Structure 1
């Protein structure tokens, strides 16, 4: 039995500190840096977005990141049981878990998109590099291809339906369209997403996307089947490989026509936009999303650290890598945005702000299609996206295992669409469901504490009347006493492992010995009060949601001591 417990304990320990650092990098440096950061910067003024992002990142994001790591390493517990530092606020940990559940539901869809591109990259010619396919419309064109011409009366001559090898026999049929659409954009919206014309028309799930989504879940399960030890081994690849690919992509995109315009839009701030609250709001959401704050994964993985691990330098390395990666990837995206805007004859700002969440899946494939040996680089790039997505998702899944009106404008593919009332109500229901555990647990804990203090005052009231006190001080009202107690640490607050329960937390070791009671069949003389882990000081059962964490010590040895 001790060997089994010891093996289970070892599965929740890092083999070496380097694996912990690389796992944190994989968790923080993910699709949020390569996919989400560029499109938020594009929609919020480019350089004007970077200033509030940097300020919020280091003034709010980094301290909260440090706090979550400290909480997990000190308690050696996950988010659900780690927030007993204030017994009324344990619902924060439960809210983190719910936040992770909802996040993984859509995060894996992005991984399935990358898997779709990755599978279709094993071709001699990339499918999104030209028009003429069944999903293309007569507005399709290939940026940078000289066969695309335009007349002066808004009539586009679509000359990209044929490959360059057949240019000797091609004609240019006129089409009455005023807006051209790049082939990569049509590939994303018309083939991958099969986007409908209206939000009310949901359609049916695509067969190939459903299979790829299932495949993404299977890959994640294979990565975490052995606990944090196998996750740490995966992190060697998922944390280092993306930087090599991004460097190659940035060097190539810098040579495209119009790349300088895109980069200038990216790094030069528009000072008049700095005071826009929407930009600050978007920057704050990106900071939390990028650093994985409030998802619980940081607490869960730092809980597998050594109790005396000095993680401040490790935290600084991870935070700097995460911030650098997002800004670094933005150069590749905005260089391609400048190229696409130049090819379309549009302003960079206009094209960037009209793009949605699919910007990265349009700009990156466009740049890849222009590179020599494009299938090879496409395979490498989307393998990198898979590595980034899987690195973050593996840690989140591992953690799960161990004021707006009713008419809101959509912010993605339907900027002019007004959501129906039922969809907005559903969105608010999901939002309330996420934060409900925080007030609910607080109220339940407060009621329990209030009832305990009321009963205690009733039993001690006679003594108070008969005692002769020279100085009588009126006690605080019960509701204030209960509120104070509800915001104070629980009796079980402190390190979980017994060898760390020293000095100010020595009482936990005594409590652990008292709670390690054999069964009633062996000791029938023990009272039910002792079997229920009663607090000897207050005379009531501990109302926290602790999971009996002190039933065995750090080495997996269960102690059986008589009281």
Structure 2
């Protein structure tokens, strides 16, 4: 087929009133936006906690193994796939292997579910941030209306006193978290009232995310200049302050002390693999969407390595910042670090607010810390929204890319998520949030998607063919090790990890004590399974639309569409590149 025919088809696909898809204005916008998407709250609290929990420095062995065999290869795969096809998280698989287009729908549903729950953390952080602008931090005393008679101020306990917190008392920090912020009920069945202040903080979070995304990649890229860089400024400030505190060396030693015996525990390897998948945002369509706005000849291969190094380096540095402060906190209170080091929200909303009360100018450090938490969360949130909008607009370009249609659809999505999010700022909100957190981005879901991706690229489309596609873009092939990871390492390691997670399955509990009612587990499994059902549903629809025997239909559904890369090259003036073959396959083979 001639290039003029492609241009004619492309013109028909893009009527005059339909806005152009757009590209990154600069390479820095791409780098910063991806960095904002993959570097978030998990780097600040989850990695340091897992490191000391699973053997300290010895934890780096399974972490680096999963990073090299699964994390980096999948990162390169998704970024390169988006750049090569110039399509979002759904239609990129339609171009490569229509039979597995359902993977794209699955990833967008996961992002949608995650957006509802993840942003609640930002609402909490906003409440803490606003509370920090006061003469005295409200969690640093027991003179508030939410405090009970059992409240004590831990700051009053120092190393000169035999520090033992009586069993019938609670700290002022915990009471602020449980009674002021959460108003937590006795169980998920006791929904309670929606908290008006948290709901306003939730509305503020969604408003910020909306205006970061409403103009598409143009506004997303500009917002990333601030949201992706300022947290690093805060992290450096906290790191410098932390390592200069008394007792910091004890915290760092506790964080990094290698315990090789922990490597014999299979759970350590499971934690390492899970951290890689969460931290690198693979199998969610983020990377494909952001890569799709690159120019065709951008060196996405080199960018992927740099971004992976930045991600893991941030996690490593965060451990020094957090545990140096925890070491100071333990010395100040005269207790062991293990009693103050917690994971998840416990570190962000209990341990660190307690730590800042022990520092000079506590209001200043509280503002700095929660500003960092907010920016780490906001850029990850609006990149998820951008992924959904890009994927939908690529499926329905003539509808969504019309003037104002994109803004209206984005507003509808934000309002819908906000209304669902109101359940999570009720008295039962923490229970609902844990259901979403545990089941939506669960290990089995991401592992199944990673196995499907590696099978499609490695075995159906062809790992060697995809390496040649990358060579067509950047001028050279990736390392052979990357290709063998797509073919063998990812399916083997992820399948083994999936089997282990199923064998070691145990029902979810809240704070290891509260057992959810049976219907709550049903909701959780619906959240986990509903995205994955899109894969077989899409397969059935694709096969039923073809003619011939079942084998012929499957074969046709596995053939890639080959027009898009050629159109991209022609639009960028690279008409001398290889034409598309007659059988519909990409022309770089």
- TM bracket (short chain): 0.7 to 0.9
- 2:580 aligns with 506
Q: Among 478, 484, 487, which residue is 2:558 paired with?
A: 487
Q: Among 394, 398, 416, which residue is 2:513 paired with?
A: 416
Residue 309 of structure 1 and its aligned partner are, at CA, apart by 1.2
Return closer, same or farther for 1:327/1:151 CA change in 2, 3 Å cut-off.
Answer: closer
- 2:79 aligns with 69
- 1:440 aligns with 537
- 1:78 aligns with 88
1:400 equivalent in alignment to 2:495: no
- 1:277 aligns with 266
Residue pairs, 1:2-13, within 5 angstroms: 5=16, 8-9=19-20, 12-13=22-23
Return closer, same or farther for 1:300/1:116 CA change in 2, 3 Å cut-off.
Answer: same
Q: Among 275, 287, 298, which residue is 1:309 paired with?
A: 298
Residue 41 of structure 1 and its aligned partner are, at CA, apart by 4.1
Residue 61 of structure 1 and its aligned partner are, at CA, apart by 0.8
In 2, Cα distance between equivalents of 1:216 and 1:363: 24
- 2:457 aligns with none
For 1:195, what is the secondary structure of its paired residue? Answer: coil
Q: 1:245-274, CA deviations, whole angstroms, 9 ceiling, x for partnerless residues? A: 112212223344543333222111322222
**Aligned residue-pair number:** 459
Q: Is the helix fraction higher in 1 or 2?
A: 2
In 1, Cα distance between equivalents of 2:230 and 2:105: 34
Q: 1:462-484, CA deviations, whole angstroms, 9 ceiling, x for partnerless residues? A: xxxxxxxxxxxxxxxxx444444
Q: 1:49-92, CA deviations, whole angstroms, 9 ceiling, x for partnerless residues? A: 44322321232111111111111111111111110211211111
For 2:228, what is the secondary structure of its paired residue? Answer: helix
For 1:488, what is the secondary structure of its paired residue? Answer: coil
Return closer, same or farther for 1:110/1:380 CA change in 2, 3 Å cut-off.
Answer: same
Q: Is residue 79–residue 300 contact of structure 1 (8 Å, CA) maintained in 2?
A: yes
Q: Is residue 327–residue 337 contact of structure 2 (8 Å, CA) maintained in 1?
A: yes
Residue pairs, 1:109-124, within 5 angstroms: 109-124=120-135
In 2, Cα distance between equivalents of 1:31 and 1:111: 10
Q: Is residue 23–residue 391 contact of structure 1 (8 Å, CA) maintained in 2?
A: yes
1:338 equivalent in alignment to 2:348: no
In 2, Cα distance between equivalents of 1:94 and 1:410: 27
For 1:352, what is the secondary structure of its paired residue? Answer: coil
Q: Give the TM-score, by structure 2 length.
A: 0.70
- 1:103 aligns with 114
Residue 324 of structure 1 and its aligned partner are, at CA, apart by 1.1
Return closer, same or farther for 1:116/1:323 CA change in 2, 3 Å cut-off.
Answer: same
Residue 125 of structure 1 and its aligned partner are, at CA, apart by 1.6
- 1:516 aligns with none
Return closer, same or farther for 1:203/1:430 CA change in 2, 3 Å cut-off.
Answer: same
Q: Is residue 73–residue 299 contact of structure 1 (8 Å, CA) maintained in 2?
A: yes
Moved more, 72-81 or 38-47: 38-47
In 2, Cα distance between equivalents of 1:48 and 1:419: 35
Which blocks of at least 5 consecutive residues in structure 1 are unaligned?
Answer: 157-176, 455-478, 509-536, 539-563
Q: Give the TM-score, by structure 1 length.
A: 0.73
Residue pairs, 1:148-547, within 5 angstroms: 177-178=166-167, 181-342=170-331, 346-349=335-338, 351-352=340-341, 355-402=343-390, 408-410=506-508, 413-449=510-546, 452-454=547-549, 479-490=550-561, 494=565, 497=568, 499=570, 504-506=578-580
For 2:90, what is the secondary structure of its paired residue? Answer: helix
Residue 390 of structure 1 and its aligned partner are, at CA, apart by 1.3
Residue 438 of structure 1 and its aligned partner are, at CA, apart by 1.3
For 1:135, what is the secondary structure of its paired residue? Answer: coil
- 1:22 aligns with 32
- 1:137 aligns with 148
Question: Rg larger in 1 or in 2?
Answer: 1
Q: Is residue 141–residue 148 contact of structure 1 (8 Å, CA) maintained in 2?
A: no
Q: Is residue 37–residue 330 contact of structure 1 (8 Å, CA) maintained in 2?
A: yes
Which blocks of at least 5 consecutive residues in structure 2 are unaligned?
Answer: 1-10, 391-500, 585-589
Q: Is residue 118–residue 378 contact of structure 1 (8 Å, CA) maintained in 2?
A: yes
In 2, Cα distance between equivalents of 1:94 and 1:373: 49
What's the Cα RMSD here? 3.2
Moved more, 340-349 or 276-285: 340-349
Return closer, same or farther for 1:378/1:422 CA change in 2, 3 Å cut-off.
Answer: same
In 2, Cα distance between equivalents of 1:45 and 1:5: 60
